[in-house]
Structure 1
Amino acid sequence: MLMKVKEVAGLVGISVRTLHHYDEIGLLKPEQTTESGYRIYSEKDLETLQQILFFKQLGFPLKKIKEIINSRSFDREEALRVQRKMLLEERSRLDNMIATIDKTIRHAKGEIEMSDKEKFEGIDFSHNPYEQEARERWGDEAIDESNAKIKQMSKDEQKRMGEEFDRIYRDIAAVRHQTPDSDEAQAAIKVWYDYLNKIGNYSLDAFKGLGQMYVDDERFTKNIDKYGDGLAVFMRDAMAEYAERNTN
């Protein structure tokens, strides 16, 4: 069923201006536009909008949402499972906070006593759990193992490793204008995969997850893009393609 922008806004409960903004920043571009310039949304567009709003409700900025849903490795069903898990955790946290508020009211009335620790139960200012979930699923173990091996190297060994990293990144940057699934890109990414497994133990899933981290973590993106604009995104897509091709 096709819907006009006002119909979508009314259905979802957001403003037409918000939908226009999503279109302008490339977050949600409707599949069709009439000759008069009216936006027409398909069922697929509505599914994408649902994902956007789920992520937004969970506290993700629009820039991060755009990166996630535009990733070649994005899986809608997997995202829904992770979002469900996060919402259940959030519901549990809110239930704990409500219980703490109820106890605080009773404490204020003199009905019960509360310890200082009890006064802050359910309050959690930890970082975004989705990114932690991704790290746990895709390769903290491999990253930690690599870091441990690097620390054991001599200064000369670390210098040579740095030079090898530099050479590989430059070779990948040289083909970044190709499509990530091109033979040239895949050959360059294979060299990176093989080298990582000399200093660590990266499964294909971990390799794919590491590529996603290159985009999700601004520190990675900044350092990688020094070799060429857009290299981090290119590597993520090429690494995802390599993992998918080589998974039995």
Structure 2
Amino acid sequence: MADEQKFEGFKQQQLADNEAKYGKEIRNAYGAETIQKANNQFENLTEKQYTDMQATADMILTNLKEAVKTSNPASEAAQEIAKLHKYWLSFTWPAYSKAAHRGLAEMYIADQRFTKYYDEPAGEGAAQFLRDAIHIFAAE
């Protein structure tokens, strides 16, 4: 099997796993059309884009760990993380809006799964800090 075929299979497995875990929940929250567009965008990622997306996610966590220590979500470092987060979203979001970005950030503190995703590697309070930084970055 060629590397490209393996990568395509990998993406399909990622989508299937996500569907099994969160499909009903995310369709209820965002609508079937929005989820299909996001899935299509993910399916169309090249291997380089996927690698860049993963590297961006890692950079967010690494930088967040340091920025949280400042306790200032309006700091230049925190706002750079929010900007990086917006870039990370561009890999799977078909369109960006400040309101949707703020809404996603709210989930980071409302849903323990998201809170854990950020707090475990970046320190307790990291999800709240990221939420606050995004709200400043994506203010109306």
Q: TM-score range by the shorter chain?
A: 0.5 to 0.7
When normalised by structure 1's length, the TM-score is 0.38
Whether 2:134 is the aligned partner of 1:242: answer no
Residue by residue over 1:133-153, the C-alpha shift from the partner in whole angstroms, topping out at 9 and shown as x without a partner, is: xx45xx997666434322333
Return the alpha-carbon distance in structure 1 between the equivalents of residues 102 and 129 of structure 2: 12
Output the amino acid matched with 1:199. T
- Structure having the larger proportion of residues in helix: 2
Mapping of residues 85-96 of structure 1, within 5 Å? none
User: How far apart are residue 207 of structure 1 and its match?
Assistant: 0.5
Show the counterpart of 1:186. Answer: 79
User: How far apart are residue 155 of structure 1 and its match?
Assistant: 5.4
Show the counterpart of 1:83. Answer: none
Mapping of residues 205-224 of structure 1, within 5 Å? 205-224=99-118
Whether 2:68 is the aligned partner of 1:173: answer no
Return the alpha-carbon distance in structure 2 between the equivalents of residues 170 and 184 of structure 1: 12
Mapping of residues 71-86 of structure 1, within 5 Å? none
Mapping of residues 1-248 of structure 1, within 5 Å? 135=29, 145-154=37-46, 157-178=49-70, 179-200=72-93, 201-229=95-123, 230-244=125-139, 247=140
Output the amino acid matched with 2:50. Q
Residue by residue over 1:70-101, the C-alpha shift from the partner in whole angstroms, topping out at 9 and shown as x without a partner, is: xxxxxxxxxxxxxxxxxxxxxxxxxxxxxxxx
Output the amino acid matched with 1:217. D
Q: Comparing both chains, which one has the higher relative contact order based on Cα–Cα distances under 8 Å and sequence gaps of 6 or more?
A: 2
Return the alpha-carbon distance in structure 2 between the equivalents of residues 240 and 143 of structure 1: 23
* Aligned-CA RMSD value: 3.0
Give the % identical residues.
30
- Counterpart contact for 2:108–2:114, Cα < 8 Å: yes
- Counterpart contact for 2:118–2:126, Cα < 8 Å: yes
Show the counterpart of 1:55. Answer: none
Unmatched segments (≥5 aa) in structure 1 = 1-131
Give the secondary structure class of the aligned counterpart of 1:226.
helix
- Counterpart contact for 1:180–1:238, Cα < 8 Å: yes
Unmatched segments (≥5 aa) in structure 2 = 1-25
Output the amino acid matched with 1:191. L
User: How far apart are residue 208 of structure 1 and its match?
Assistant: 0.5
Output the amino acid matched with 1:210. L
CA distance 1:203–1:181, shift in 2 (3 Å): same
- Counterpart contact for 2:105–2:131, Cα < 8 Å: yes
When normalised by structure 2's length, the TM-score is 0.63
Structure 1 runs (4+) deviating above 4 angstroms are: 139-144, 154-157
- Counterpart contact for 2:56–2:84, Cα < 8 Å: no
